[in-house]
């Protein structure tokens, strides 16, 4: 079922729901410049076997309002959109799963609105905390000294994006996914080509959004609140992630009180078919344990 939610004046967000209406809600929050279709269909279906799964398009993605150039907003406003989606769908509390920027938004909700969450799962993201990272040998790494984004990704992101038509844009995106995937698992060009064709068809155009990279990101740190967290939280470690490589996941799990850590072997900063089943199992095991508790 598809539905538009009024998140703010002049801002409408596209949402989709799948699964039993009376099942525990599970909200999927994608990364920067990624629409809700960034969550692959097989993964959504697997989660919908046990949950009322909701995915949505951020502002300036997919079928939601594209308005940043006329009305700039902050990253914090995207976190407010998470609550707006829950309110608009009449959901008091939900499990939340956030990837990349979506994992940061989920942390902000975890810190600011814990009463709205049943659990949180964080994937491919960094901690919104200044807490030091502790190595297994007991030594520490300052939060601001954790490894940065790989040079290959930075070089790719530094290239100007030129419009040479839909076909060329799809191929550019495939190259992007190849780098983000991390190289530990076989890369399927045809899978990501079909994936991007679906995204473009859903969006209605192949333009590249830049709003989330330009939005103000001040006021995102939640060090103290994350350290006092009481919401069951799972951190997914992706060992091949070139954006937030280890020990970012370990640091994240240390910053959030009570967080558990699980590794998906070979996973990078992408969701290829090889990770769908283990990722769904990790999420459902986590949400299932919360339900039992």
Active site residue 100: yes
Q: How would you write the chain as a 3-class SS string?
A: CEEEEEEECCEEEEEEEECCCCCCEEEEECCCCCCHHHCCHHHHHHHHCCCEEEEECCCCCCCCCCCCCCCCCEHHHHHHHHHHHHHHCCCCCEEEEEECHHHHHHHHHHHHCHHHEEEEEEECCCCCCCCCEECCCCCEECHHHCCCCCHHHHHHHHCCCCCCCHHHHHHHHHHHHHHHHCCCCCCCHHHHHHHHHHHHHHHCCCCCCCHHHHCECCCCCCHHHHHCCCCCEEEEECCCCCCCCCCHHHHHHHHCCCCEEEECCCCCCCCCHHHHHHHHHHHHHHHHHHHHC
- From 241, 248, 251, 286, the catalytic residue: 241
Active site residue 241: yes
Which member of 100, 119, 129, 237 is catalytic?
100
Catalytic residue among 206, 212, 248, 269: 269
The catalytic site residues sit at 100, 241, 269
């Amino acid at each position: 079922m598809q539905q538009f939610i009024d998140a703010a004046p002049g801002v409408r967000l596209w949402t989709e729901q799948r699964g039993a209406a009376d099942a525990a809600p599970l909200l999927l929050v994608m990364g920067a410049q990624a629409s809700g279709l960034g969550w692959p269909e097989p993964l959504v279906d697997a989660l919908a076997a046990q949950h009322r799964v909701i995915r949505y398009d951020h502002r300036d993605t997919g079928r939601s309002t594209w308005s940043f150039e006329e009305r700039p907003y902050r990253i914090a406003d995207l976190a407010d959109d998470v609550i707006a989606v829950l309110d608009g769908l009449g959901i008091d509390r939900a499990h939340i799963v956030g990837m990349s920027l979506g994992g940061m938004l989920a942390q902000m909700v975890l810190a600011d609105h814990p009463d709205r969450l049943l659990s949180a799962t964080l994937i491919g993201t960094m901690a919104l905390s200044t807490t030091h990272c502790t190595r297994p040998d007991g030594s520490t790494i300052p939060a601001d000294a954790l490894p940065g984004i790989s040079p290959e990704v930075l070089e790719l992101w530094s290239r100007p994006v030129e419009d040479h038509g839909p076909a060329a844009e799809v191929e550019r995106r495939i190259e992007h996914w190849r780098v983000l995937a991390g190289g530990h698992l076989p890369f399927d060009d045809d899978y990501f080509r079909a994936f991007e064709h679906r995204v473009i068809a859903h969006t209605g155009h192949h333009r590249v959004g830049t709003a989330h990279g330009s939005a103000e990101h001040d006021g995102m740190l939640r060090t103290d609140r994350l350290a006092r967290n009481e919401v069951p939280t799972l951190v997914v470690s992706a060992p091949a992630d070139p954006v937030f490589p280890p020990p970012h996941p370990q640091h994240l799990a240390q910053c959030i009180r009570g967080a558990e850590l699980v590794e998906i072997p070979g996973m990078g900063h992408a969701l290829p078919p090889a990770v769908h089943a283990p990722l769904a199992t990790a999420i459902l095991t986590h949400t299932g344990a919360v339900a039992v508790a």
